[in-house]
Every structure is written in structure tokens, then in C-alpha cells.
A and B are shown apart, each in its own frame.
Chain A
Amino acid sequence: MIDESTTNSEVVLEVEDLVVHYELKNETVKAVNGVSFSLTKGRSIGLVGETGAGKTTTALAIMNLVPKPPGVIKSGTIDVCGYKMLELKPKQLEKIRGKEISMIFQDPMTSLNPVIPVGDQIAESVRLHENVSASQAYDRAVEMLELVGIPGERAGEYPHQFSGGMRQRVLIAIALACNPRILIADEPTTALDVTIQAQVLNMINDLKKKFGTALIMITHDLGVVAKMCDDVAVMYAGRIVEKGTLEDVFNDTKHPYTEGLFNSLPDISKKGTDLKPIPGQIADPTRLPEGCAFAPRCRYATDACREKPPTIHQISPTHFVECTAYDDPGFHIEGWQNHG
């Protein structure tokens, strides 16, 4: 769909025209409807959007973890470090997951096994991927714990003995134990308090620099994106509606939905400014409209927007927006200048 400006750096992930539906008895949930993006070594991209935007489904598809049934990958290719993820057999996938690409989930309590000490859970991942003895793997686990700021002597403790922030760090230790090239973090700090969130994000940033890991940050929090990401892809109803560098999307916002997201946030530096929420409800993925999915909530929408799928416009070599309104060269969103 969109050509990334070619750079010299090594591409570690390439997602092309991904379409994922959940086919239920009475209805089809169109979760992801044509998503393409790529990621180069050591860079970070933020997938931003609200509930039902298709962020998590995109991530699961990259790992080839979409539950089937009811999930159906309708089309698309996913290339992780040269491996075609959607074509591999389960045995081959096991080798890649955890080794080339890892994922951390939102809820640190349910993603850890409650009856196995955390050290063993980290070591398990090491033993799966690397030809090492049990004791070497355990040593590595202790080392990883220290790296994420947990004293190594706590490796024998069980998940319930740790606080939420520490459990999330254990998950990060598991994910990074084999030094993967890509880390997918799905809302890693949403369940955490702000001061703990700051600790965890700083740590992810440090480790990312240290190992040169590429990062996909899935979040609904634009503040987290501003802190963590080089690039941003804003998702709505299963499509990327705007994509660019952090500066492109934050300082030169083009898509009306992205604008709406910013206007919905209280601004700490300006008290008394009214919030301008996006009217209406989030698009129902079982009943997507004919034209642009955002049109029913968009204050700039015209008949053209409602009738045909949105068109893609390239603003700069790095900045893309999917919005029919830009067919008119004179179109611009309101009041953006006041924000940046």
C-alpha cells in the first residue's frame, strides 16, 4: 500500500496488507482491514488507537497467534527477519517466537504461571532457544532479573510475591532473555501506577538501546508514545489512518481522528481550555460503513467520504494520511497551530 522511503538500515519487520477477521456464528468482526508498515533495526513504532482499533489483533497476527477459529487471516504477508510468519508450521514458529520476536502483554498477573518460580519461567525461554544446560539457563535468568532491577536472589520466588510493576519486569526479562530483534509491548504499563509506569518505560528504553531491539509499542496513551517512539501509526477501525515520524504526527497532525484524539486530552499546561471530544461512538467492527469508517464522527466529512473508501495522501517522504478530504489540495484541519 505505502512505500517506505528506503533507508540503509536493516528491515526487521514487514507487514503487508494484513486483513484479519473473526468469523462468528452470526457476524463477522472485521478487526484488521489492510494494515501495512515496516520496522527497521533498533527503531520504535507506536501503534495508537482506541478499543477495537485492531492494535492487538495486528500484534497477534505478527506473532501468528491469532486464535483460529474464530480468527481468519484473509490476506497479507508478515516478514519477521526473513521468515514468512503466516506460512510457517507450529514447530518452526516456536523457534522464532522468543528468539527473533517477543511480546509482552498488558496484564502481568495472567501472563505468568502462578505455580512456577519466576527464575524457572525465564530459564524456560532460554533453554527453548539456546543450546545451554539447565544451570547455565538459570544463571542467565538470574542475570536477566538483575538487569530489570530485581535482586537475583528473588529468582526462586513465585509471581504472587512480587508487586505489579515487578511482575511486568519479570515479563520483560522473559521477553528479552534471548535477545530478540523485535519486542512487541502491548499496553505494558496500562495496569500500572504512574510512578511505576515511569520506571518500567525507562527500563524498556535502556534495554532497547543496549541490545538494539526494535520496538512495537501498542498503546492508547499519546504520552507514552511521545516518550517512547520514533514513528507513530494511528489506527482506527482496523486501518492505519495516519503514519509518520513522531514529529510528523504530533506537530503536523493531518488526520481528523488524530486531531480529535489530541483535543480529547486535558492539557496540563493550559487550564480552563475546554475538551473537544469526538462525537459519537467508536466504529462497530461488525458493521463498518461503506466509505471511511471515521466519517460518521468526522466534522469535515463530505458525501465523498461516506461513499468511497478513503484515499491515501503522502504529505512528506515519511508522512502519510488516509483521508479523502485531502483530495482537495486546499484542505486543512482546524486549529492545529494552537496546539504545537
Chain B
Amino acid sequence: MGDTILEVRNLKKYFKSPRGMVHAVDGVQFSIERGQTLGVVGESGCGKSTLGRCILRLIEPTEGEVIFEGRDICKLNKRELKELRKDMQIIFQDPFSSLNPRKTVLEIISEPIIFNKLMKGASKAEIENRVLELMDTVGIAERLINSYPHELDGGRRQRIGIARALAMNPKFIVCDEPVSALDVSIQAQILNLLKKLQKEMGLTYMFITHDLAVVHYFSNDIIVMYLGQIVEKAPSEILFNNPLHPYTKALLSAILVPKVGGNKDSIQLRGEVTSPIDPPDECRFAKRCDYRCEACEAGNPPLLEVEPNHFVACHCIKPGENLLKEREGYVSAG
């Protein structure tokens, strides 16, 4: 076993709604090794952002444990949690709404330093120096220190969000769709920056995205979520070369490759998405699955290790045995 920095056990988050309980995150389990990146993919509404926020306890989980460096953060009191937040940070998707429009770059980046008394007794000039150092790390020109967010473009704003997260010297950062709102040429700049920072500072990332090409580029391990649950989990290479779950297959087949003739017909998903409100006790993907059988109605399939490091939640895929292969119309590769 390597050096596990974060372990999530049976994490659940239910929201009350007028029509019943929304099972946003429903029994998620995984761990991340120090210095690695875990990619979390899934479509809108699969619970990936809720998961990221539960891990930082920005929203209170309904059930389960989040163990960060040996301590269950769900059991910490307010003071302990504040202490821990220095180690765990988040970068948000929208660099427009996640920065206070009435604060300057200096104020935004120095706020966590001052709030957490990271530089107790330091003079204003010393704090400013630290901010300049952080700005340099993320590649924002010094002259912008007194600018307001609206004066900057999306890429620079996202860099400020990153600098703010780095101000605490965190060990672990949840990146919630950090490049989705950016143009491709800027997106690549930010991805490279995040990679460089990881190398230099030994950061651990949980990288939440809907962009499969990005997650493939960035992650060591990937989990695929569907309606609040993990349907497949594997190292990046294995997942892309040998996807097993029918949902993962459909997802991968829908990636559009920027190459002439690179796009075969994708697997079309039919049917209605199962409602996340009080879902029935059966496979949540069954209604859209081309290969469903009676077994799929027999409860929620557990996440099983079907080959080393490759986990799948499907009634028809068991260690050493893939019943889907015998079904009509089975597509082998992803």
C-alpha cells in the first residue's frame, strides 16, 4: 500500500426536495495516494460537484467518512476544521463568480493568509511580498496586483483562484471543472500550470470534469459516476483501453476526436434517465442500458474488482466473467 492521503468511505449526501429525497451522492468509496490525481467524470447531475464539496465539508455529508491523513473530517469541530482547511483547498469552475468583484487581486489572494493568521505579526509589505510570490508562481504579471477581477480575462481570473488556493500551502486541492469556462488555448495554459504546481509542490488533486480528453490527460486514476454512484473505477490507461461498464463505453464513444474521419458513430443512449429522487432499488443505469436483463432489477450492483485495480458496478460483469459479451449487439472496444 502506498501513502494514502484521502480515503472516502460510503459517503452519502441526500437533499430534501418537495418530491422526496434527492440521492445526490449515494455510497461513494475511494482513496487517493499522495501526489496523484484522481479524475472524476460524469454528466451533469451525476453528483460529482456535490462529492467534491462534501469532501471539503463545504456541504455537510449525510452519512459516511472522509479520512484525510488519518482523521475523519466529518467528526471535527469548527476550530479543527478551520485548521484543516489550510491543507484542503478548492478551485471553482467559474472564475467570474468565485472572485469577489469588489476586491483587488491583492485583497483576494491575501485574504486567506490574514484570515488564517498564516503570517502572524507580518507587516503589510511582507504579506504583499508573499502575494507577489504567489502571483509569480501562477504567472500573473506584478502590475496587476491592484486590479479588480472584472478588468481581467477568464484565464487570468482562474490563475487568481489558483493563487488563492495555494496561499494556504495546501496538500490537497479539489479542482471542480477548472478549465471548462476557458477557451482552448487558455485551457492548455491552465492545465500545464496545474501540472507544474503538482510536480513542484507535491500536490494531490481530485479533478472533477465532464471533459474526457482532459481527464485522460491529467489523471492517474479515474472514477466514472452515474446518478450519485461510481459505476467504474480504474487507472486512466485501463479505463480508456478497456472500458467495461456500458455507461463508460457510451461516454467514451461520444468523445469527438479532432481528426478527419476520426469519429465513428457513437453508442446512442436511449430512454429516460432514472430520477435521482428516491431511486428504486435496482441498477440505476438499467433503463438506458442496451444489455439489461432480469438480473439488473435485483438491487443496486456493488462495485467489484473484476481485474486488478479495475472496479465495475454491473450485475453482468463479475471477476473473470463478462456476461455482456454474449448479448446481442455487444460492442467490444470503447
Contact between A223 and B192, CB atoms less than 8 A apart? no
Contact between B155 and A268, CB atoms less than 8 A apart? no
Known: A194-B43, A194-B251. A264 touches B259 (CB 8 A): no
Q: Does A251 contact B (CB under 8 A)?
A: yes
Binds B, one of A118-126, A196-204, A301-309: A196-204
Binds B, one of A30-38, A81-89, A103-111, A275-283: A275-283
Cross-chain contact of B266 among A50, A198, A221, A260 (Cβ < 8 A): A198
Contact between B236 and A226, CB atoms less than 8 A apart? no
> CA separation between A246 and B250, bound complex, in Å?
26
With a cutoff of 8 Å between Cβ atoms, the chain A residues found around residue B185 in the complex are 50, 260-261, 264, 277-278, 282
Which of B43, B255, B257 has the most CB atoms of chain A within a 10 A radius of its CB? B257
Cross-chain contact of A250 among B155, B218, B259 (Cβ < 8 A): B259
With a cutoff of 8 Å between Cβ atoms, the chain B residues found around residue A265 in the complex are 184, 188, 213, 258
Interface size on B, residues (CB 8 A): 43
Known: A250-B259, A278-B185. A266 touches B216 (CB 8 A): yes
22 A–B contacts, CB within 8 A, in A order: A194-B43, A194-B210, A194-B212, A194-B251, A195-B43, A195-B250, A197-B256, A223-B255, A223-B256, A223-B257, A226-B257, A264-B184, A265-B213, A266-B214, A268-B216, A275-B192, A275-B217, A276-B188, A278-B189, A281-B155, A282-B183, A340-B259
Beyond the given A275-B217, A281-B155, please list 20 additional residue pairs across the A-B interface where CB-CB is below 8 A.
A193-B44, A194-B210, A196-B43, A198-B254, A223-B255, A223-B258, A224-B256, A227-B263, A251-B260, A264-B185, A264-B188, A266-B217, A267-B213, A268-B257, A269-B257, A275-B192, A276-B188, A277-B189, A277-B192, A281-B153
- Residues A249-274 near B (CB distance < 8 A): 250-251, 260-269, 271, 274
> CA separation between A227 and B266, bound complex, in Å?
11
With a cutoff of 8 Å between Cβ atoms, the chain A residues found around residue B119 in the complex are none
Contact with A along B141-170 (1 / 0, CB 8 A): 000000000000111100000000000000
Q: Does B84 contact A (CB under 8 A)?
A: no
A-B pairs with lowest CB-CB distance, top 9: A223-B256, A266-B217, A277-B188, A222-B258, A264-B188, A193-B43, A50-B183, A278-B185, A277-B189
Count of A-B residue pairs with CB < 8 Å: 118
> CA separation between A163 and B253, bound complex, in Å?
22
With a cutoff of 8 Å between Cβ atoms, the chain B residues found around residue A340 in the complex are 259
Contact between B260 and A226, CB atoms less than 8 A apart? yes
Q: Which residue of B lies closest to A225 (CB)?
A: B258
Q: Does B80 contact A (CB under 8 A)?
A: no
A207 to chain B, nearest CB (A): 16
> CA separation between A277 and B155, bound complex, in Å?
12
> CA separation between A260 and B184, bound complex, in Å?
10
B48 to chain A, nearest CB (A): 12
A residues adjacent to B (C-beta < 8 A): 50-51, 163, 193-199, 202, 220-227, 246-247, 250-251, 260-269, 271, 274-279, 281-282, 340
Q: Which residue of A lies closest to B43 (CB)?
A: A193
Contact between A275 and B260, CB atoms less than 8 A apart? no
Contact between A271 and B259, CB atoms less than 8 A apart? no
Contact between B260 and A261, CB atoms less than 8 A apart? no
Contact between B240 and A226, CB atoms less than 8 A apart? no
A66 to chain B, nearest CB (A): 23
With a cutoff of 8 Å between Cβ atoms, the chain A residues found around residue B259 in the complex are 226, 250, 340
Q: Which residue of B lies closest to A261 (CB)?
A: B184
Which of A50, A198, A250, A262 has the most CB atoms of chain B within a 10 A radius of its CB? A198
Q: Does B274 contact A (CB under 8 A)?
A: no
> CA separation between A221 and B258, bound complex, in Å?
8
Known: A50-B184, A193-B44. A268 touches B255 (CB 8 A): yes
Which of B218, B250, B259 has the most CB atoms of chain A within a 10 A radius of its CB? B259
Q: Which residue of A lies closest to B189 (CB)?
A: A277
With a cutoff of 8 Å between Cβ atoms, the chain B residues found around residue A198 in the complex are 253-254, 266, 268
Q: Does B278 contact A (CB under 8 A)?
A: no
> CA separation between A282 and B182, bound complex, in Å?
11
> CA separation between A271 and B260, bound complex, in Å?
20
> CA separation between A3 and B277, bound complex, in Å?
59
> CA separation between A37 and B257, bound complex, in Å?
26
Contact with A along B20-46 (1 / 0, CB 8 A): 000000000000000000000001100
Which of A224, A225, A271, A277 has the most CB atoms of chain B within a 10 A radius of its CB? A277
> CA separation between A316 and B82, bound complex, in Å?
64
Q: Does B294 contact A (CB under 8 A)?
A: no
With a cutoff of 8 Å between Cβ atoms, the chain A residues found around residue B308 in the complex are none
Cross-chain contact of A221 among B192, B256, B269 (Cβ < 8 A): B256
Q: Does B104 contact A (CB under 8 A)?
A: no
With a cutoff of 8 Å between Cβ atoms, the chain B residues found around residue A50 in the complex are 183-186
> CA separation between A193 and B213, bound complex, in Å?
14
With a cutoff of 8 Å between Cβ atoms, the chain B residues found around residue A271 in the complex are 216-217, 236-237
With a cutoff of 8 Å between Cβ atoms, the chain A residues found around residue B266 in the complex are 195, 198, 202
Contact between B258 and A195, CB atoms less than 8 A apart? no
Cross-chain contact of A268 among B154, B210, B240 (Cβ < 8 A): B240
Q: Does B262 contact A (CB under 8 A)?
A: yes
> CA separation between A227 and B255, bound complex, in Å?
11
Contact between A226 and B216, CB atoms less than 8 A apart? no
A269 to chain B, nearest CB (A): 8
With a cutoff of 8 Å between Cβ atoms, the chain A residues found around residue B273 in the complex are 163
With a cutoff of 8 Å between Cβ atoms, the chain B residues found around residue A247 in the complex are 260
Contact between A246 and B260, CB atoms less than 8 A apart? yes
With a cutoff of 8 Å between Cβ atoms, the chain B residues found around residue A246 in the complex are 260
